Chain A
């Protein structure tokens, strides 16, 4: 089963993906599987353990079930202040 999700990129991931967002038709059922797929596609240097993930503008666990139309953001290490 595939689903289409929108992935938004920020900071280092935006530069490495060379885009701010994309729609992905994927068989990945979780953010963890989706990141593994995108890491190969875009050559992301950050491992999953360095990131957090948000689904539909809220933090989510890596094994969260993805649904059609979800908006996913992988969050690199933050550095406000």
Chain B
């Protein structure tokens, strides 16, 4: 069953994967988004994520539903962390099972791209130099 969740706790990736075991499936594709130590040339110390949870979970489920409709896959799930994350921490996990690998790769890419552009989740970067900023929230030119 497709499932999208927002989690304030670290993700248990072996359990997430095991819950998708399916003998019909010949392929399983997983994407993990990790906290890295730089962005746009600035050295990053840690990230803070927050979400508007009720709408994030609704929009996330809509994206998974689109993937189920548009690709021949058996199941697709996504969990996104909120809270303070340190370098190397897992921020987002997507798992897809399908009969053959092609559809699983395509559906996984679709879901992570749509989640990044549509789900109300925000990321604040804290830099080594002490500064911080919300990503994509600088004032846009008219």
A interface list, Cβ under 8 A from B: 8, 10-12, 45-47, 49-50, 54, 57-59, 73, 75-81
Minimum CB–CB distance from B78 to chain A (whole Å) comes to 10
In the complex, are the beta carbons of A80 and B134 less than 8 A apart?
A: no
Judge whether A78 and B120 touch: CB under 8 Å. yes
A76-B134 in contact (CB<8A): yes
Give the contacting residue for B139; candidates A8, A45, A75; CB below 8 A: A45
* Pairs of residues from A and B, 7 with the lowest C-beta to C-beta distance, nearest first: A80-B121, A11-B122, A77-B136, A79-B135, A81-B116, A79-B123, A57-B54
In the complex, chain B residues whose CB is within 8 Å of the CB of A50: 137, 140
| CB pair B115 A73 closer than 8 Å | no
Where the two chains meet, the residues of B that have a C-beta atom closer than 8 Å to any C-beta of A are 33, 49-52, 54-55, 58-59, 80, 91-92, 112, 115-124, 134-137, 139-140, 142
Bound Cα distance from A76 to B122, whole angstroms:
8
Report yes or no: B140 in contact with A80, Cβ–Cβ below 8 A: no
- Whether A58 contacts B55 in the complex (CB less than 8 A), given A47-B140, A76-B137, comes out as yes
CB distance from B39 to the nearest CB of A (A): 11
Chain B proximity of A79: nearest CB distance (Å):
4
| Residue of A whose beta carbon sits closest to that of B31 | A81
Kindly identify which residue among B92, B124, B142 contacts A80, using a CB–CB cutoff of 8 Å. Answer: B92
B139-A79 in contact (CB<8A): no
Given contacts A54-B52, A80-B115, contact A10 B122 (CB under 8 A): yes
Give the most central of B51, B58, B115, B137: most A CB within 10 Å: B137
Please give, as numbers and ranges, the residues of chain A lying within 8 Å of B52 by CB-CB distance. Answer: 8, 10, 54, 73, 75
B26 to chain A, nearest CB (A): 28
A58 to B83, CA, bound (A): 23
- Chain B residues with CB under 8 Å of A10's CB are 50-52, 120, 122
Once the chains bind, are B117 and A78 in contact (CB under 8 Å)? Answer: yes
